[in-house]
Amino acid sequence: MARASRRTPAAAEPILHHAARIEDAYHAFREKRARRRGRVATVIPYAGYGGAGWIRVLCRVLLTAPGATADEELGTANRNVRGWRSFTSVPVDDVTVIVTAGGQEFRVKAGRGGVVDARIDVDLPAGWNTIQIRTDESDDVEAPVHVVDPNQRFGLLSDIDDTVMVTALPRPFLAAWNTFVLNEHARRPVAGMAVLYERLVRAHPGAPVIYLSTGAWNVAPTLTRFLSRNLYPSGALLLTDWGPTHDRWFRSGRDHKHSSLRRIAAEFPDIRWLLVGDDGQHDEELYGDFLREHESSVSAVCIRQLSPGEAVLAGGRSERDGNGEGVSVPWLSAPDGAGLVKQLEHLTLLPESKEL
């Protein structure tokens, strides 16, 4: 009698959370309808960054009318657009995206929610570069990429919500109002922070600037325009995809920030980062944990103190619980950018100046 041969079982794919299955089915239904109307897969580019021999490409693939620009599709060509328009677009999963950089073409795949976050091995000169991204159905779009000089030793990494822009994000109702309803021109910048960041960039030419937030990629165009309009220095945005993951109802913003900080420390082991956040969420705890793991990767921590009214809207202040203690890295705090400037002027990170 013949003996059955044993086969090595294939690695099991992760079981999707039922919320993720519902979301995937909903997107598939919307994509099918949009395809019938002649919509094509188009790239919405975001700013990326890189180092010697590699770049990190960030973009999103949506279904748009043929020939429509990103602003036209998302409704952002109208300056009075409300935030909800960013969440009505149809993302395309598992589509091939062609990246042209350094005279070479690279093919990568979009993930869930149409998000592309890919590391590509290519040599580009230090400084700001322009790459082209497209799908098989659309024309090239340009995306900026900041390649960090190998000799650079300083970088700026900043939170967004309640650090550079007042949002009161932790409260669910207010978060929904700010995200879906509020006109982007009504969002208020934090006093003095743009001046602080600009002075830091001038004091450290070529320094990378990265904005790390728990916000969704849907609002990346809105955040980019807000930062530009309020004169914040250009930099890459690291956001999260909207909706459930394969194992939970909602993505963990804290996990996103934790993993992003660790990845950046590994990508740029010789850079010491100035970490900027606020005391209304978990920035102090996150930065404190990161300090204990990667003290050599941090030059200083700056915490923006919320006003009493902002703290109430944000659900209170975080408890420091000894964050920053036991390490030699400066831990600074002030209610605005001007207060942080005065403290940083006592450090070599920011030369003294009469300008505010």
Q: Are 207 and 324 within one domain?
A: yes
Q: Residue 45 CA to chain centroid, in angstroms?
A: 13
Cβ–Cβ < 8 Å for 42, 63: yes
Point out the domain boundary residue: 128, 147, 166: 147
Q: Are 106 and 230 within one domain?
A: no
pLDDT in tens, 264-294: 999 999 999 999 999 876 889 999 999 999 9
Q: Are 113 and 167 within one domain?
A: no
Q: Are 192 and 305 within one domain?
A: yes
The Cα angle at residue 52 between residues 237 and 292, in degrees rounded to 5: 60
Q: What pLDDT, on the 0 to 100 scale, is given for residue 354? A: 55
Could you tell me the CATH number of the domain that includes residue 85?
Answer: 2.60.40
The Cα 208–Cα 271 span in angstroms is: 9
Q: What pLDDT, on the 0 to 100 scale, is given for residue 192? A: 96
Cβ neighbours of 94 (radius 10 Å): 10
Task: Find the helix or strand (DSSP H, E) in which 261 lies.
Answer: helix 253-267
Q: What pLDDT, on the 0 to 100 scale, is given for residue 22? A: 63
Could you tell me the CATH number of the domain that includes residue 244?
Answer: 3.40.50.1000
In the predicted model, residues of the chain with pLDDT beneath 50 are: 1-13, 16, 75-82, 84, 244-249, 316, 322, 355-356
Q: What pLDDT, on the 0 to 100 scale, is given for residue 6? A: 37
Q: Does 310 map to a domain?
A: yes
| Residue (of 210, 211, 204) closest to 154 by Cα position | 204
Query: Which amino acid, 312?
Result: V
Q: Are 245 and 183 within one domain?
A: yes
Q: What pLDDT, on the 0 to 100 scale, is given for residue 254? A: 81
Q: Are 112 and 51 within one domain?
A: yes
Q: Residue 109 CA to chain centroid, in angstroms?
A: 19
pLDDT in tens, 7-30: 333 444 455 455 556 656 656 667
